[in-house]
A and B are shown apart, each in its own frame.
Chain A
Amino acid sequence: MLARIAQELFWLGRNLARAEHTARLLEGVFQADLQGRPEGQISATTLSWESLMHIMGGRRDREVSDGRDAVLDALTHDPDNPASVVACVMRAREGASAVRDVISAEMWEAINTTHLRLRGGEFVPRDKTGHYDIYQHVRERSALFWGLTARTMLRDEASAFLLAGGRIEAGDMVLRMLRVALPDVPDGNQADGQALALLQAVGGFQAYRRAVPAPAHAKPVARFLLFERNYPDSVAASVDAVNASLRTADSRPRASEPILRLSRLSADLEFRRSAETDADMRVTCHEVQRELGLVDGDIAQRYFGGARAA
């Protein structure tokens, strides 16, 4: 298929996944921030408004103060901030319009409606600080889009690049969250309300409860979000999914740098999981994220004809 189309699809997936994860993250932090801490518990993880701006990276076109309303505004419906939910959806929709002939009509409609309703002024925050409706909208519409993809799109190279984009972004976002939220104190086994917020932010609360017997403390939560392959939004599951997608798209997978790199990363995650050492989770996250960045570069190099990500 055309390299240009492949890249558009890849970034369509990335932008949509980024919009969804940003929405979930903002909602989680918002909920946690409204309330105090449980009695007698200290916070081993930090999810705050300042840290949110860090999660979304250094690229800011203008300085935003660290207050709640400013951060919420900047990351939710500021169309001029490229990291905002609205901007992500807008880019996804632009990308989708460039590949309308490749994706199904229903997929296009799903994403176009999402964008139009966001821009239609329907989601004016009512109580000045309430953005719940927007986040719910983005969550639901994003689930609809991926559901329609699974249901109506031919499982060819095109869908492989779309999925690879969505999953690599999911992995990257979860790593960003973990790196900012994880405690730098070694004792991450403290009881902790913020780790709960982290789980709720990614929508993994019930999955965690069913999979892990331990209470939602910082360390087991971080391990779950990093290593638990059975949880679809964990970093390990995302790495595997990107790997599987690229394998279906690549004619010579055994000579493909991104696939080789992903396979190595996947095995590495498994080793780290079973090692049970007290290795600093933050170091692990850092290394995994660096590796994912290299994968991203490899993908652009190999499949998109060297068109580097801007």
Chain B
Amino acid sequence: MAEVDTKRPLLDYRPADGYFDELVAADGSPRPHAQALAAALDAIGPSQLVDAGRRRDTIFVQQGITFDTTGEDGPTVERPFPLDLVPRILPASEWTHIKRGLAQRIRALNRFVDDVYHAREIVRAGVVPWRLVVSRSHFARAAHGIRPPGGVYCHVAGCDLVRDVDGSWKVLEDNVRTPSGISYVLENRVAMTRLLPGLFSAYRVRPVDHYPQLLLAALRSVAPAAEGEATVVVWTPGHLNSAYFEHAFLARQMGVELVEASDLVVRDDVVYMRTTNGLQRVHAIYRRLDDDFIDPLEFRPDSVLGVPGLMRAYRAGTVALANAIGTGVADDKAIYHYVPEMIRFYLNEEPMLDNVTTYLMSDPEAMEAALKRMDELVFKPTGESGGKGVFIGPENDAPTLAGLADVIRHSPDKWIAQEVVRLSTMPTADSTGALSPRHVDLRPFAVFGETISIVPGGLSRVAMIEGSMIVNSSRGGGSKDTWVLEDGEDRSDDAAPARPESLPPALPDLRYGAWTGQQQQQQQQQCSPG
């Protein structure tokens, strides 16, 4: 592996100036953990990469791992999920740091949700203004005073991380409502082992396929039922939802029912599903739709996706919802600003992962300062997710920004401004198999049951357009398989990892049956007239 070709390393890859490249250092040589990968990629070459890309598209289309994009004015097109074939590698030590930082953050967010619907200690201590909390669009009055089993609200969380110019990890966004993408993490890994198994040969990569088990165990642990008897379901808005693939994927992997609203019914504050055997009690619901839609009696009365009476059952404690009602208040972008303070307040710890510098537009001084340098900042609406309504200052013209300034002045509560993060880059293959730098982020997925477990790696999203920092798949972003290495990265180091040193039992020989022996075959052939 030391014999990396220094003249033409990594298929002529040139990192972009002014950004942190995760695979190669500034001088163009692969970073230590990436040397074997670079050599393997060189050995594969562009034409094989293109070939593997074609097979990837075929496999994804055949397996239905696709998403719909709508053309400018054309019909909806079904495209294979975009997976870039150059994996992203995180050494064990780096991952340990991320993992601890995330667990810390999620613990704090969970405490925060509990607090705002109960004692409001953080408000009384003057850390977070109450006016800001109640004005959040996802603040749920209906959740007041309800404490779910184990005090866990954010059963499933996905935080978006980015890497700044100096290589340090920062949290860009918290998703504690219904973060999606985990199915792609699992499918990407399966695809990579099939398409380019050679890339794995120098590494021991931590597997990700136990996520459904973790999720199921977490859901069972919070279900109000006796051990081992809990009925868990995944609740999807329906097969037209853009994340339906993931809903079905999780239900199948966990071996539980995938239900829609019409399958659920509440009787006497207990949730049931309609089965061929009559009503069957449901103990835990992994719901993939927002609070607003789940119960027309409590939230939006026009919701046809909801189950009337569900909130009554939830309040009575006969059913667990994951995530709990009201968690949306914690992933609001204005609340995000306070997360480091929350960590200090609730946990008495220093945050291990920093925020991106953020200005609240509800603060008049900060607003005026931000509006003066609009072309240098990013403006985000607080209650949205998935990159909706985000304005990147340097990429917009003056009239647009002037219009935006009016909107922000009108409702400053609903906006934040952030410094532009210079996202790190990774070599990414284009349609000719050549590698060029593209910006990436990382969304690890955490499951909070009895403890917090985080699946090694997560979804790396990559902007497929040069220079672009928009990584959302709905806007043309792709993804990368993310490898977290085991300690002792080199495979040769850990000879036969901890396998029981016993000889396998002596099995009987395979049997082979044949009526006609070789000799007879030959004679048959000789007998036949030429």
Contacts and interface: CB of A to CB of B under 8 A. Distances in A.
A58 B509 contact: yes
Interface string A42-63: 1100101001001111110000
B209 interface: yes
Given A43-B499, A46-B500, A296-B511, A127 B198 contact: yes
A129 B201 contact: yes
Interface string B191-227: 0011111101100111101100100110000000000
A166 interface: no
Interface in A171-200: 176, 179-180, 183-185, 193, 196
Main secondary structure of the interface of B (DSSP, over half): loop
Interface in B497-530: 497-500, 502, 504-517
A216 B198 CA distance: 28
A121 B459 CA distance: 37
A176 B509 CA distance: 10
Interface in A204-246: 206, 208-213, 215-216
A308 B226 CA distance: 55
A215 B213 contact: yes
A290 B499 CA distance: 27
A55 B515 contact: no
B252 interface: yes
Which one of B216, B228, B485, B509 has the greatest number of beta carbons of chain A within 10 Å? B509
B206 A57 contact: no
Contacts of B78: none
A35 B205 contact: yes
A126 B515 contact: no
B228 A51 contact: no
A10 interface: yes
Interface in B234-262: 252-255
A101 interface: no
B210 A196 contact: yes
A51 B190 CA distance: 23
B191 to A, nearest CB: 10
A11 B456 contact: no
Contact of A293 (B252, B254, B508, B517): B508
Interface residues of B, number: 50
Nearest to A51: B504
A306 interface: no
B514 A286 contact: no
B197 A130 contact: yes
A278 interface: no
Interface in A151-187: 176, 179-180, 183-185
A56 B510 contact: yes
A266 interface: no
Interface residues of A, number: 64
Interface string A8-44: 1011001000100000000000110011111100110
A254 interface: no
Nearest to A206: B252
Given A31-B193, A209-B252, A43 B498 contact: yes
A261 interface: no
B298 interface: no
Nearest to B516: A98
Contact of A127 (B44, B502, B507): B44
Contacts of A286: 505
A83 interface: yes
Contacts of B505: 179-180, 282, 286
A124 B399 CA distance: 59
Interface of A: 4, 7-8, 10-11, 14, 18, 30-31, 34-39, 42-43, 46, 48, 51, 54-59, 82-83, 91, 98, 126-130, 132, 176, 179-180, 183-185, 193, 196, 206, 208-213, 215-216, 282, 286, 289-290, 293, 296, 300, 304, 307, 309-310
30 contacts: A7-B513, A14-B511, A36-B207, A36-B485, A36-B486, A37-B207, A37-B486, A42-B498, A43-B499, A46-B500, A54-B504, A56-B510, A57-B509, A58-B506, A126-B48, A127-B52, A127-B195, A127-B198, A129-B198, A130-B197, A176-B507, A179-B505, A180-B505, A184-B502, A196-B210, A211-B255, A215-B216, A282-B505, A296-B511, A310-B513
Given A130-B196, A184-B500, 8 more contacts: A7-B515, A35-B207, A36-B205, A51-B504, A127-B52, A183-B500, A196-B209, A300-B513
